[in-house]
Amino acid sequence: GENVEQHPSTLSVQEGDSAVIKCTYSDSASNYFPWYKQELGKRPQLIIDIRSNVGEKKDQRIAVTLNKTAKHFSLHITETQPEDSAVYFCAASVKKGNQFYFGTGTSLTVIP
Amino acid sequence: NAGVTQTPKFQVLKTGQSMTLQCAQDMNHEYMSWYRQDPGMGLRLIHYSVGAGITDQGEVPNGYNVSRSTTEDFPLRLLSAAPSQTSVYFCASSPGLATPTQYFGPGTRLTVL
């Protein structure tokens, strides 16, 4: 099955700086890559996603890049704010059955 | 729309007891999934369904059963609870293959003593 690795596990940045979280996947058949934000005690919420036929996608301060050849994708958050503090998960979806495999999460702390 | 709902929010079981975690969605989504979330391990897929009457195993299916008799409901059954099943359980749904975006329920925190 698919194996998704995520780094780093913890990340601290100063408010206004950028944050980058990286994930790799193993199954070349994976074709959809969402990123979720989870605040303490809450459910995961989708923040951005990218399909395998697209190399980059941006939504305001958040962007995701995908390198299919190297099988890695990254989340970029610019101009970080304290409310960006949360745990972020990447995931890869294998087309058959729409199964999702998640990374182990990155705990992001934005220091005011 | 209520979205994806789960009951109960919290549950404490004794080892060997059985119970059913309920999940329902009112968005007419074809795909539904169950995950467990443990500290440091992300979300792991237990079982999933691509439509009424169709279910399949995910990464960690042992000790759990599911059924999908209607599009709306996807209950997860713990057959004989074990302390290793202490976790937070999330149900999720998505429209289908063409629109894979998953929507999560609020979760059920289960403790097995």
C-alpha B5/C-alpha B90 separation (Å) is 10
Residue A100 predicted with pLDDT over 70? yes
User: Between chains, do A101 and B59 touch, taking CB under 8 Å as contact?
Assistant: yes
User: Between chains, do B48 and A97 touch, taking CB under 8 Å as contact?
Assistant: yes
Residue B26 gets which letter from DSSP? S
Task: Band the pLDDT of B100: cuts 50, 70, 90.
Answer: confident
Residue of A nearest to B94 (CA): A98
Residue of A nearest to B36 (CA): A102
Q: What is the pLDDT of residues B5-30, one digit of tens each?
A: 999 999 999 999 999 999 999 999 99
Query: How near does any CA of chain A get to the CA of B61, in Å?
Result: 13
Q: Which two three-digit tokens encode residue A107?
A: 């705990």
Three-state DSSP state, A48: strand
If you average pLDDT over every residue of chain B, what do you get?
94
Task: Band the pLDDT of A53: cuts 50, 70, 90.
Answer: confident
Q: Which residues of A touch B45 (CB under 8 A)?
A: 99-101
Task: Tell me whether B104 touches chain A (CB under 8 Å).
Answer: yes
A88 φ/ψ angles, rounded to the nearest 5 degrees: -110, 135
Contacts of B35 (CB under 8 A, 6+ apart): A102, B43, B44, B45, B46, B89, B90, B91, B92
Q: How many CB pairs under 8 A join A and B?
A: 57
Task: Tell me whether B94 touches chain A (CB under 8 Å).
Answer: yes
pLDDT at A96: 64
User: Between chains, do A44 and B45 touch, taking CB under 8 Å as contact?
Assistant: no
